[in-house]
Amino acid sequence: MDPREAALRQAYDHAVRWLASLPDRPVPARAPVEAIVRALGPELPEGPSPPANVVDLLATACEPGLTAFPSGRFYGFVVGGTEPAALSVDWLVSAWDQNCVMRTVSPAYAAVEEIAGAWLLDLLGLPGTSAVGFTTGATMANFTCLAAGRDAVLRDAGRNVARDGLAGGPAVRVLAGRSRHMAVDLALRYLGLGRPELVAADPQGRVEPDALRRALAGAGRGPSPAIVVLQAGDIHSGAFDPFTECVALAREAGAWVHVDGAFGLWAAASPRHAHLTAGCQDADSWATDAHKTLNVPYDCGLAIVRDPSALRAAMGEQGDYLIQHEHGDPIDKVPELSRRGRAFTVWAALRSLGRSGVGELVDRLCRHASAFAAGIAGIDGATVLNDVVFTQVCAEFGNDARTDRVLARLLDDGTAWISGSTWHGRRVMRISVSNWSTSDDDVRRTLDAIRRAAGTA
Ligand SMILES: *Cc1c(COP(=O)(O)O)cnc(C)c1O
């Protein structure tokens, strides 16, 4: 047998065993880092080994140290799972090993990126002529969109950033809601824009339009270039900024409007939840993830920019605002040069789910979140702290110490994985439903585990 085939069969067997273990294995990892290092052996081997043996060693040694992230009972952070068609295509992407830089070199990739991009704009209700770049995640999607915005507002102020850089040019004001995700701050830092000016938000984390109006007074393109960063989906409450009002205010001030919608932008794909994103399609750029709500395997983010030439000016090889060709190369839309074919897995997930499947996925995640809120509200001493409008639930159990005890007991129990956080100065249990495979039974089993943890805490 070709050594590649033997190794792939070995990987297949381990992968299938892993997936089959998900319904019943404890969600947290069972072995610490040191145990995995011991099992693998820290020494660099002096010579070669058969590939199939290497796969087997790694899979066997790592198994106890794996966290069941793709389990229907993992509710930490916002992680998504792996939709079956996307997972399988991800293996093909490795076997194909395309360098997805230029249309003429991998026509198959360029075709799939074009189709997947158009489908995404359709599903997310965004302008059909926008450019879609496939990044590693939403942090880099925010970076990519904000680079386009930074260069555009400075171009309007007479500055060519691609040629002359930032030093000595006009300052760019960046306004963001107090409850923005830290990825926005990271992106701004990488872009040389420093920390954003923070705009007051209501207790759910939604930007207050009056506060934005006051903050914007005096800002705008021309003499005072500005960017306003809004959010679709707060990681604690799931709340969405009031886009219609905020976008109008930012537009009046001549600012570039960017939306971080890492998991929340997908509300637009559900007729039942699209109202949450109303007005957000009038922004200039949007960052989201495919590896969260859409459930493609890591990693894939999406940088969407209304004006394709603004994205090309910031990211394109030629860096020229006036490039005429209608279809830029994939390379013109993201920071990386050599890169993996991320659009293949996105296409597979969308092709497999179809329009109704994506909408139902979003609705199902929201329905499970509501079930969690209802179940937790019935536990003695527990309080749900957020308005559950989307996939996020924040709860406390009477006081910080008890909330932390409930979280610790829940992890020991192993039925589910839920993160703790601090919200409005209180310790909270933060549940994020983002996995396509979470079932009513998973929710029931998890609520039982939370009740057990609360009963003894
Ligand atoms: C997860 C998240 C990010 C960062 O996305 P990555 O894919 O982890 O880089 C940014 N903003 C929000 C609101 C998020 O939930």
Pairing of strands 285-289, 301-305: antiparallel
Q: What is the pLDDT of residue 428?
A: 98
At 393-447, the pLDDT tens digits run: 999 999 999 999 999 999 999 999 999 999 999 999 999 999 999 999 999 999 9
C-alpha to C-alpha distance for 255 and 206, rounded to whole angstroms: 19
Whether residue 438 lies inside any domain: the answer is yes
Q: Is 181 in the pocket of ligand 1 (CB under 6 A)?
A: yes
Whether residue 107 lies inside any domain: the answer is yes
Whether residue 389 lies inside any domain: the answer is yes
At 252-304, the pLDDT tens digits run: 999 999 999 999 999 999 999 999 999 999 999 999 999 999 999 999 999 99
Q: What is the pLDDT of residue 333?
A: 94
Q: Do 265 and 397 fall within a single domain?
A: no
Q: What's the pLDDT band for 323 if we cut at 50, 70, 90?
A: very low
Whether residue 78 lies inside any domain: the answer is no
Burial of 456 (0-12, 13-18, 19+ CB in 10 A): exposed
Q: Do 335 and 369 fall within a single domain?
A: no
Helix residue ranges per DSSP H, 97-131: 107-124
Q: Do 275 and 368 fall within a single domain?
A: no
Q: Is the pLDDT of residue 29 over 50?
A: yes
Query: Going by C-beta distance under 8 Å and a sequence separation of 6 or more, which residues neighbour residue 229?
Result: 146, 174, 175, 176, 177, 180, 184, 196, 258, 259, 260
Whether residue 71 lies inside any domain: the answer is no
16 is in which domain, residue-wise? 3-66
Query: Going by C-beta distance under 8 Å and a sequence separation of 6 or more, which residues neighbour residue 268?
Result: 123, 124, 125, 126, 274, 277, 280, 281
- 332: CATH: 3.40.640.10
Ligand 1 nearest atom to the CA of residue 234, by list position:
13
| Domain limit, last residue, from 289, 316, 349 | 349
C-alpha to C-alpha distance for 59 and 53, rounded to whole angstroms: 10
Whether residue 436 lies inside any domain: the answer is yes
Q: Is the pLDDT of residue 223 over 70?
A: no
**Smallest Cα–Cα separation from 307: which of 286, 291, 290, 279?**
286
Three-class SS state of 196? coil
Q: Do 339 and 199 fall within a single domain?
A: yes
Q: For residue 393, report the distance from its CA to the centre of ligand 1, in Å.
A: 17
Q: Do 17 and 102 fall within a single domain?
A: no
Q: Is the pLDDT of residue 220 over 80?
A: no
Amino acid letter, residue 176: A
Domains: count for the chain: 3
Q: Do 161 and 19 fall within a single domain?
A: no
Q: Using the 8-state DSSP alphabet, how is residue 414 labeled?
A: -
Whether residue 81 lies inside any domain: the answer is no
Whether residue 390 lies inside any domain: the answer is yes
Contact predicate 64/30, CB 8 Å: yes
Pocket test for ligand 1, best of 140, 229, 260 (most atoms within 8 A of CB): 260
Contact predicate 363/270, CB 8 Å: yes
Q: Is 260 in the pocket of ligand 1 (CB under 6 A)?
A: yes
Three-class SS state of 240? strand
Q: Do 53 and 123 fall within a single domain?
A: no
Q: Do 254 and 374 fall within a single domain?
A: no
- 416: CATH: 3.90.1150.170
pTM of the model as a whole:
0.96
Q: Do 341 and 237 fall within a single domain?
A: yes
Q: Do 137 and 28 fall within a single domain?
A: no
